[in-house]
A and B are shown apart, each in its own frame.
Chain A
Amino acid sequence: MIDSLTLYDRLAKEMADSPNQYELLGDIDMDLAIVMNRPDGSAFRLMLGFAGINCEKVAEVEAGDEANADCWLVGDLEHFQAMFDNITANGQATGEWTLNTLTLMDERILLRASDPMGWDMFHRFNQTLQEFFDGASSVLSSATSEES
């Protein structure tokens, strides 16, 4: 499920439905791309466009288009899955599974940018990005409940 638009559309809706939470964190203006490498050699490429206190764009993009984002995260699907599993288990990312820690270690999920200004944007808006992904806790939990 994490390599389909459904999850991110729901995360964007979760963000839109939580103006008080995101208003407190402040506006965010950036495009973040995600590249998840699947075991079969294909990749799920996603563009998330944030503006104000909303995620206004959720779209799959072609190979190479991630470079049009301010910055992008790239890693194997299994590492992203582990990150979302941690979020679901704890209600939010903990320990080594936060976005900053994962990218700082530069092993499982890498932060890349065409421009150092884009790289810095990931840090300027980090708390908002983290809470956006932490939203997967409720989204994925409810999806699991619906399936069962």
Chain B
Amino acid sequence: MVIATDILDKYPDLPDTNPSGTHLDWAWLAGHESEWGIRPKPSARGLTMMDIAVGSYGEVPEVPKHRAMAARGADIDDDVPDMGYILNKKSDVWAENVSELYEEAVARQWSATRDIPWNELQELPSDLEHAMCQLCTTLSEIEMIASDLPAKWRWRMNHEFLEAKMFLCTQIMDEARHTEVFRKRALANGGGLLKSRAGTESLLRTIIEAKTYTQATALLHLLGEGFILDLFRQGEAIAPTEVEKRIFRMTMQDEARHVAYGTLHIRHSVENDPDVAEEIHEALDHGEHAMVALGGNPDMSTSLALLLAGGAEKVEEVGFPLQQRLNKNQFTSYLARCERAGISRLERTQLPLDKLGIDIEAIKGPGG
């Protein structure tokens, strides 16, 4: 290890060993070979990830040269070890809005401890409290898969796609908070955690065992989170008190962000690698069946219907019909997002579109 001449010219007093005798080259004192002097300017809200995406630092390679944890844009040794990443194409993980979504996620974090007005909980009629507790039990169960699934794949993503990895970290935190807040709500009003069924667990296993990240993200971000987003919308609408309204609104915001990543990630993926379209379709063929089954999960659907009805007396008269109407919204939103993602399901889906009352033209056209 020898100190380069240009460094010695500038700093002639540098020693070539440290006190323990290790040889030193002080190479970093030469600065970056091309980017020294780049000075990103903070925007109105501070120094964002978009602000620092300048010069070569903002260039995300389609296929990175290295498979190391080295910081993208640094002077990287050629012999850095391979970390075993398997998602090494930008199209594997990227979405054009991912930096913005990361900043949004960081700015819009919230606390299930502090930001929910827990002291405003009110005693509810027994049937409503049971229904809310059952809904929260199921949600607490299924929310964590949206942490586990990105976590399963995130460490296999090339580190040069750091913005995507950072965004998925926020999703993992979001879903941990969702598990927390629904568990807290189930317990906080004197009810508790109710039924958990084998059928639900089997469906979750189908999702977590997706064979590729592309299939996993289609199932999770486009299909699953889209449905849960609509479920949270319904939850806010039927919330008996401001406590539940706030819970569902805050979780809804997080969920919509995850869906926004998924929609544009799938689009980026398909545009840059059309071969993955069939892979995504196959995943959604199975996933739609699974989602219908999950939506039809007797515990979740009946608890939701009872809440929609405002009590046990009007479940048949009000709850189930309203639920069917809202299911139409759920499937319409999902199919519209598939169109936006460039993976039209209208000709392929086995969902009973007529029976659900889906207006295909509205999905195809603007303003829907």
Contact = CB atoms under 8 A, between A and B. Distances in A.
Interface of A: 24-27, 29, 51-52, 67, 92, 94, 96, 98, 100-101, 104-106, 112-117, 119-121, 123-127, 130
Nearest to A114: B366
A98 B253 CA distance: 15
A13 B368 CA distance: 32
A120 B256 contact: yes
Interface in B239-277: 242, 245-246, 249-250, 252-253, 255-257, 259-260, 263-264
Given A114-B366, A116-B263, A127-B246, 6 more contacts: A29-B100, A116-B333, A123-B229, A123-B252, A124-B257, A125-B253
A105 B323 CA distance: 11
B83 to A, nearest CB: 33
Given A124-B257, A127-B250, A104 B104 contact: no
A123 B251 CA distance: 10
A26 B109 contact: yes
A121 B337 CA distance: 13
Interface residues of B, number: 39
B245 A98 contact: yes
9 contacts: A27-B104, A100-B237, A112-B367, A116-B333, A116-B336, A117-B340, A120-B263, A125-B253, A127-B246
Contacts of A26: 104, 107-109
Given A116-B337, A117-B260, A100 B249 contact: yes
B11 to A, nearest CB: 44
Contact residues of B: prevailing secondary structure: helix
A46 B237 CA distance: 26
B326 A104 contact: yes
B253 A104 contact: no
Interface in B162-205: none
Interface of B: 44-45, 100, 103-104, 107-110, 115, 229, 233-234, 236-237, 242, 245-246, 249-250, 252-253, 255-257, 259-260, 263-264, 326, 329, 333, 336-337, 339-340, 366-368
A67 B108 contact: no
Contacts of A96: 237
A34 B229 CA distance: 23
Contact of A126 (B249, B329, B368): B249
Nearest to A124: B256
B236 A98 contact: yes
Contacts, number: 91
Contacts of B263: 116-117, 120
Contact of B264 (A27, A105, A117): A117
Nearest to A52: B45
Contact of A123 (B109, B233, B339): B233
A126 B253 contact: yes
Contact of B107 (A27, A100, A127, A130): A27
A101 to B, nearest CB: 4
Contact of A119 (B45, B110, B253, B333): B333
For the complex of A and B, list the 6 residue pairs with the smallest distance between their C-beta atoms, beginning with the closest: A26-B108, A26-B107, A123-B256, A101-B237, A124-B256, A27-B107
A123 B257 CA distance: 9
A52 B234 CA distance: 28
B252 A126 contact: yes
Given A98-B236, A100-B249, A123-B229, A116 B366 contact: no
Contacts of B245: 98
A117 B257 CA distance: 10
Contacts of A25: 108, 110
Contacts of A98: 236-237, 245, 249
A71 B44 CA distance: 24
A88 B240 CA distance: 20
Given A26-B109, A52-B44, A105 B237 contact: yes
B252 A100 contact: yes
B249 A127 contact: yes
A116 B366 CA distance: 9
Contact of B253 (A52, A105, A124): A124
A40 to B, nearest CB: 24
Nearest to B254: A124
Contact of B339 (A94, A100, A116, A121): A116
Contacts of B229: 120, 123
A114 B264 CA distance: 16
Contacts of A52: 44-45
Contacts of B103: 27
Contacts of B233: 100, 104, 123
